[in-house]
């Protein structure tokens, strides 16, 4: 697996990440969702650099231009519900992509954390480029389970996992699960730890609640 930490470079991406972390800014749900979407757009642009391209001729009003465009069929997959504005950011750029949705949620009981899949809607994946997005990669459990669920729809030729904040523990888990070179993990920040409730520290809190309100 290849790892790309976009936050290690000085770009405007870090401004958006700082705002979703900042307790004085993040409680504005509209701004929080918009920042998540904008991060998705920035990351989509970066991911696009790693796609296969082919040249084609385009007819203009004055002649013919030869341009290089992506030529791989793309499926944009999202883990509900926090992934929705992140998904929209990617979809703004990959506007011709097919889409897949997985409902994976945390189920905590005593000291045990499990993940449950309740819903899956996805096109066939065989031979396609799958971009699987989720804002937070804490333990890696929901990403692992969601990918296994999506594999019931076929085997993608290439996998790109895009997250905003990851832990080093989850990065190491993904590297062990996906040793092949056709898998890339993209992130905007890597944080050092998890707390006793398996939330990322320093992280940003519960991304789903910050986007859409608290849940029971």
The pLDDT of residue 46 is 98
**Helix (H) and strand (E) counts in the chain:** 6, 12
Residue 117 falls inside a structural domain: yes
Residue 57 falls inside a structural domain: no
The pLDDT of residue 85 is 96
**How many separate domains does the chain show?**
1
Which tokens in the block code for residue 188?
Answer: 């905007």
Residue 61 falls inside a structural domain: no
The pLDDT of residue 71 is 94
Q: Could you list the residue range(s) of the whole structural domain that residue 84 is in?
A: 2-51+71-212
Residue 84 falls inside a structural domain: yes
Tell me which residue has tokens 């045990």. 112
Residue 47 falls inside a structural domain: yes
The pLDDT of residue 80 is 86
Q: Is 160 exposed, middle or buried (0-12, 13-18, 19+ CB in 10 A)?
A: buried
Q: At 190, which CATH number?
A: 3.40.50.2020
The pLDDT of residue 107 is 62
Q: Is 207 exposed, middle or buried (0-12, 13-18, 19+ CB in 10 A)?
A: buried
pLDDT by position in tens, the chain (length 216): 999 999 999 999 999 999 999 999 999 999 999 999 999 999 999 999 999 999 999 999 999 999 999 999 999 999 988 899 999 999 999 999 999 999 876 666 555 556 678 889 999 999 999 999 999 999 998 899 999 999 999 999 999 999 999 999 999 999 999 999 999 999 999 999 999 888 999 999 999 899 998 876
Cβ proximity of 66 and 57 under 8 Å: yes
First to last CA, the chain: 37
């Amino acid at each position: 697996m290849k790892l790309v930490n976009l936050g290690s470079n000085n770009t405007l991406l870090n401004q958006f990440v700082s705002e979703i972390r900042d307790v004085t800014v993040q409680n504005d749900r509209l701004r929080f969702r918009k920042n998540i979407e904008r991060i998705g757009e920035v990351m989509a642009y970066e991911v696009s650099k790693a796609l296969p391209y082919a040249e084609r001729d385009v007819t203009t009003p004055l002649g013919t231009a030869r341009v290089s465009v992506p030529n791989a069929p793309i499926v944009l997959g999202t883990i509900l519900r926090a992934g929705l504005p992140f998904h929209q950011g990617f979809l703004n750029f990959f506007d011709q992509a097919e889409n897949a949705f997985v409902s994976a949620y945390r189920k905590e009981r005593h000291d045990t954390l499990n993940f449950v899949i309740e819903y899956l809607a996805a096109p066939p994946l065989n031979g396609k480029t799958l971009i699987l997005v989720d804002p937070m990669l804490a333990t890696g459990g929901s990403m692992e389970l969601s990918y296994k669920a999506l594999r019931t729809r076929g085997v993608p030729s290439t996998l790109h996992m895009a997250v905003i904040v990851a832990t080093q523990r989850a990065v190491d888990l993904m590297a062990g699960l996906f040793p092949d070179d056709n898998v890339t993990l993209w992130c905007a920040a890597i944080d050092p730890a998890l707390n006793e409730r398996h939330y990322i520290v320093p992280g940003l809190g519960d991304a789903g609640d910050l986007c859409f309100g608290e849940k029971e």
